[in-house]
Structure 1
Amino acid sequence: MTKKGIESIFKPHLEPKEVYKGGKNIPPSNKKIYKLSSNENPLGASPKAVEAIKAALNKIDLYPDQTDIRLREALVKDFNGQLDSDQFITGNSGSEIIDMVLRAFINEGDEVIFSNPCFLPYSVFSRWYGATQIDVPLKEPDYSLHVEGILNAITERTKIIFLTSPNNPTGTYIPRAVLEDFLSRIPKNVVVIFDEVYQHFADAEDYVSALPYVLDGQNVIALNSFSKTYGLAGQRVGYCYTTKTIANYLRLIHKPFLLPLTSMEAAIGALEDQEFIAQTVETVLEGRKFLAAAFEELGIKYWPSQANFFIIDPPLPEMEFTDKMMDEGIMVRPVSQFGAPGKVRITIGNQEANKALVNALKKISSL
């Protein structure tokens, strides 16, 4: 029996399924709560970004910039002129950029490859456009990229491959040699979305961003965000850079007036605040060493991280552990939804938050 009424025109691939749920906000409480669940900046926001927002408040009755050219020119400066302004696309968060790229390239039945555990919007957003989703899981136990598995999964319908380095939620990365080998072996009509949102925190000698491959003219779109290093999660600003050919194509569906006035000014201000960026990275790297040592001492299994968070195998079932940590004033994130059942992701905070986290872990581990 065929459907009648409004349901008859609904897209069949948009069936009720799991949707992406962001991290929770800090609930009302009389006690101190440390939010270590959403990978936000441990120092807050860039002071220059805050000042830029304040300066823009007397203009919020006016429309913002119709285009993103001022931010793109600021990005050119930040990249030391290695890219032209027309190689950047900005958007209302990194997630918006993912949606834009999928909207530009995916028709119903096209294939998208990703590797769980990974950022859930890769699969959720691609479903919106009727993509066939191919999950080639990261290798266990080290969560490394399954290169041969992905290459074997590529078909004539493959349009997009998601790579992430450092990866959310595992904190692992793709070494340069592995990435270069992979890129040399994929078809020329496949686009790689290279999510490098956490790149500022990667200090491995063989870590590499997507920049050299974009400069080489490869079909790579590098995804970035102002939510982490720059402390602008509440302003929702993201961007990507890619070849001029791909960028010009994406700009055909780039909306005018996309970035709010305060978001535009905050992002430009944040790019100028090199001192804040350096302090953020230093805080995260020191916290990463501190927490890794604490996990070792407590016997908690964790995975070495190149990001501003860790994924751990908690001493209790994930939801019970999450609840007990909350009782101790620590918010953490269970990541079964990201494809890592039983695991919990913990953001690296400032030293006060990190010490509170360790004290909570000691208490819970002794139960």
Structure 2
Amino acid sequence: MYKSYIQEDSTYKGGGKKIVMPTGIEVHKLSSNENPLGFSKKVSLAITNAVNDLSLYPDNTDIRLREALSKDFKEQLDADHFVTANSGSEIIDIISKVFLSEGDEIIVSQPCFLPYTAFTRWMGAKAINVPMTPDYDYNLEGILKAITAKTKMIFLASPNNPSGNYIPYDVLVAFLSKVPKNVIVVYDEVYRHFAEASDYTSALPFVLEGYNIIGINSFSKTYGLAGLRVGYCYAPLALSNYIRKVCKPFLLSSLALEGAIAALEDTDFVQRTVDLVQEERKFVLKGLDELGIKFWPTEGNFVLIDPPVENIDFTKFMESKGIMVRPVGVFGAPGKVRISFGVRKANEAMLAAMKELLNNL
């Protein structure tokens, strides 16, 4: 009666809630890659106005949000290229449902976002792990060699969570040209706004060229709407139109619809967020370097470090100082810790706590 692959423990567990500290100790949550600026005032106004209609059903479809996304993408894509859902994670779930069956294979590269393996397992698919290199680069040749007749999807992320690495444009071009036409590349780009590398690329040019690639995005990071749960993907029309066939009516709440549309309109808030993250990234990485803490280059709004003590002990010490960080052994990076970039005050407190720990060793 029960499916064995569903009974396996594959539940994704997100970052913890904000801890409570004694009076006088400020808590800085740097464990969940959330927006340190919060969210746009335009979102707040839109949601406040939408509250008056909570007794009514929301839009039957997501067409208004998809049209807003088309506008945000400078109309390089039509509304029909987009699919929206309750978070980027649910997009992964929907993609798994429409493309995977029992016995299929997917390819991932750990460390990676847990839903890639957890959600696909619910469909009876087997995850083949082609680990990243010690420097946390994709072993793309290894991925190509791992493709079999059972392979249906390849998951890539750029920037990748939790390692922060990205895939340069030329490297991705060479890779995609060798991927069989019947294999779909799922390209997680939820941190794309924060990338500064001149050769960084989103999935957009490859969607425009008709590759079997799906770009996954979220409103949780750049737009600061993690609590609202809105995500989307875009893909060539043959893929996006197919994916939308399983989308339920009234899928997005009225608050989610209005909030997401308003978030896209506030480009000034988006730019302030990007500017803050990029500035604080430089500040934190310089501070870590001065402390002698090993870290990996990152294009995200977080950094992966090798803590000076065992990762659980490190996490507990940081929490005793009001600093929340994230051990990422479950992502496939045993012993490592991921730290999000906050506002300057939070980052200074984090570096000060780390310095205190080092001085006590």
- TM-score band w.r.t. shorter chain: over 0.9
Partner of 1:63: 57
Deviation at 1:32, TM superposition (A): 1.2
Partner of 1:94: 88
Partner of 1:36: 30
What code does the residue aligned with 1:259 have? Answer: L
Q: Using the aligned pairs only, state the percent identity.
A: 56
Partner of 1:10: 2
Deviations for 1:267-326, whole angstroms, at most 9, x for unmatched residues?
A: 000001011001000100010000011011000000011000000000110000000000
CA distance in 2, matches of 1:16, 1:101: 20
Residue 5 of structure 2 aligns to a residue whose secondary structure is coil
What code does the residue aligned with 1:17 have? Answer: D
CA distance in 2, matches of 1:137, 1:284: 28
**Which of 238, 245, 256 matches 1:245?**
238
Deviation at 1:28, TM superposition (A): 2.9
Aligned residues: 358
Q: 4+ residue runs of structure 1 moved beyond 4 angstroms?
A: none
Partner of 1:25: 17
Does the CA contact (< 8 Å) of 2:228 and 2:256 recur in 1?
yes
Deviations for 1:79-98, whole angstroms, at most 9, x for unmatched residues?
A: 01100000100000000000
**Which of 313, 324, 328 matches 1:320?**
313
Is 1:154 the equivalent of 2:147? yes
Q: Which runs of 5+ in 1 are unaligned?
A: 1-8
CA distance in 2, matches of 1:252, 1:149: 34
Deviation at 1:18, TM superposition (A): 4.4
CA distance in 2, matches of 1:109, 1:344: 34
Partner of 2:177: 184
Partner of 1:115: 109
Residue 224 of structure 1 aligns to a residue whose secondary structure is strand
Deviation at 1:12, TM superposition (A): 2.2
The two structures have a TM-score, normalised by structure 2, of 0.98
Partner of 1:235: 228
The alignment yields a C-alpha RMSD, in angstroms, of 0.8
Does the CA contact (< 8 Å) of 2:84 and 2:232 recur in 1?
yes
CA distance in 2, matches of 1:350, 1:60: 34
Deviation at 1:220, TM superposition (A): 0.5
Deviation at 1:73, TM superposition (A): 0.5
Deviations for 1:118-146, whole angstroms, at most 9, x for unmatched residues?
A: 00110011110000110001111x11110
Matches within 5 A, 1:120-159: 120-140=114-134, 142-159=135-152
CA distance in 1, matches of 2:20, 2:332: 30
Residue 7 of structure 2 aligns to a residue whose secondary structure is coil
Partner of 2:77: 83
Partner of 1:208: 201
Deviation at 1:16, TM superposition (A): 3.0
What code does the residue aligned with 1:112 have? Answer: I
Residue 249 of structure 2 aligns to a residue whose secondary structure is coil
CA distance in 2, matches of 1:12, 1:167: 30
Partner of 2:210: 217
Q: Which runs of 5+ in 2 are unaligned?
A: none
Deviation at 1:27, TM superposition (A): 2.5
Matches within 5 A, 1:299-338: 299-338=292-331
Deviation at 1:230, TM superposition (A): 0.3
Deviations for 1:135-187, whole angstroms, at most 9, x for unmatched residues?
A: 001111x1111011000000011000001000000000001111111000010
Residue 6 of structure 2 aligns to a residue whose secondary structure is coil
Deviation at 1:47, TM superposition (A): 1.3
Deviation at 1:19, TM superposition (A): 2.5
Deviation at 1:253, TM superposition (A): 0.3
The two structures have a TM-score, normalised by structure 1, of 0.96
CA distance in 2, matches of 1:70, 1:206: 32
Does the CA contact (< 8 Å) of 2:10 and 2:121 recur in 1?
no
CA distance in 2, matches of 1:18, 1:317: 25
What code does the residue aligned with 1:101 have? Answer: I
Deviation at 1:20, TM superposition (A): 1.4
CA distance in 2, matches of 1:147, 1:16: 29
Residue 83 of structure 2 aligns to a residue whose secondary structure is strand
Does the CA contact (< 8 Å) of 2:20 and 2:27 recur in 1?
no
Matches within 5 A, 1:45-64: 45-64=39-58
